[in-house]
Amino acid sequence: MTFGQALLEALESLNGNKMRSGLTVLGIVIGVAAVIAMLAVGNGAQASITGSITSIGTNLLFVFSGSQDGPPGGPGSGRSGNNDRPLTLADAKAIADPFAAPSVESVAPAIQGNGKISYGGENSSVTISGVTPAYSTVRNLEIAEGEFINEEQMLGRMSVVVLGPATADAVFGRHDGIVGETIRIEGSPFRVIGILVAKGGGAFGSEDDSAYIPFTTAQARLIKRDSRDQIDVLFVQATTAEAVTQAADEIKNILRQRHRTPIGVDDFTVFTQQDFLKTFETITGVLTIFLGGIAGISLLVGGIGIMNIMLVSVTERTREIGLRKALGARKKDILLQFLTESSLLSLIGGIIGIMFGWLIAFVVGQVATATGNNFVPIVGTDAILLSTGFSAIIGLFFGIYPASRAASLEPVEALRYE
């Protein structure tokens, strides 16, 4: 028997039991669709997170006070000794020295805290950051309306504020046409001078839900620290993406000299974009594998369904198998016939499952867009190949036992079967 003949006979057999074949195929369809949809969600989550991080530049470094094992807010973060020396404006000035750190392009110190913003009876709790004019360049911020904080406002400790679009929406109900309005931050009046372009979530939460005021104003009026020149975080921009590693080494050497820390015991932490990317990629990678594994269980259930139906088919067609063998059909012909049927069931289910899985991913993406989330599921070629290959293997694996059982039937006993 040729493969073409086996294929035609398999189609005839499956067509003769449309309802049973359809229900069997449904198990594979659900399994393949679930695998593709779950992997698409995982890949989309990873792309969304890494895209948010890289959107602020690949040559950005973060310097924090205290020794930490991971990015702030991540696993192992927040370990800081009581004797750690805080970062200061003098540290920022030393790092900005082109002779001491030639790989550093720009430095932006910042102090951060939470505060309440109010306007016309509307209130919103947001992250308030005291920043310098260099902050917008270092963090790659874009102004949608108005301007960012300048040197004159810094020197004059002016009561001005730049709002993220989410903050503006929460307070004003819109994020355009509000430059020049006066809001209150912790009860003090501040004039809105600019609105940022929406960027979504970042390494430290959403920058859209923030308010930026001059560094000197924050020091004097809103965000108090132990010392006058203490800062919370230092954002450093390297000259190029390739110079990030060299810039990190230069920053470490400068701070070690200034803080006079013992060898191997730093009281500060330097993170790069790559550090954040590796951390989040690890997390989302585990999430994707977890989701794919759960979806793979449904494929396994679909394979068991194929074996069950094929065993029923062997039992029903015992006399047919005996007649075929009596007329000269070889063992391998019977084996090929039933393996072709199980593989065909799996293949049809896989093809339909791919289309259905893509449809689910598309619907999830549309729902995410409609709710304002920057999330697009990604149906990768690897997911299609993995689910299709897995379904084909399952069709063969769970079809081997029924096919072998059919091929091993004795012609005389098969013909006697009632």
Beta bridge partners of 203: 205
Rg (CA), the chain: 32
* pTM, 2 dp: 0.58
- Residue-wise DSSP of 268-285: EEEEEHHHHHHHHHHHHH
The burial of 67, by beta-carbon neighbours within 10 Å (0-12 exposed, 13-18 middle, 19 or more buried), is given as middle
d(CA 184, CA 68): 36
Q: Which residues contact 192 (CB under 8 A, 6 or more apart)?
A: 146, 160, 161, 162, 163, 168, 178, 179, 180, 181, 182, 183
pLDDT mean by block of 10 residues, the chain; 418 residues: 64 70 79 82 74 64 70 41 72 87 87 85 84 86 87 88 87 83 87 83 62 87 78 86 83 85 76 70 74 73 74 69 69 74 79 86 81 73 75 73 69 56
Size of the chain in residues: 418
Query: Do residues 129 and 211 lie in contact, with contact meaning Cβ atoms separated by under 8 Å?
Result: yes
Beta carbons within 8 Å of 127's beta carbon, 6+ residues apart: 112, 113, 114, 205, 209, 210, 211
Please tell me the predicted confidence (pLDDT) of residue 139: 83
What confidence score (pLDDT) does residue 227 get?
A: 73
Structure tokens at 414: 């098969």
Q: How far apart are CA 16 and CA 341, in angstroms?
A: 12
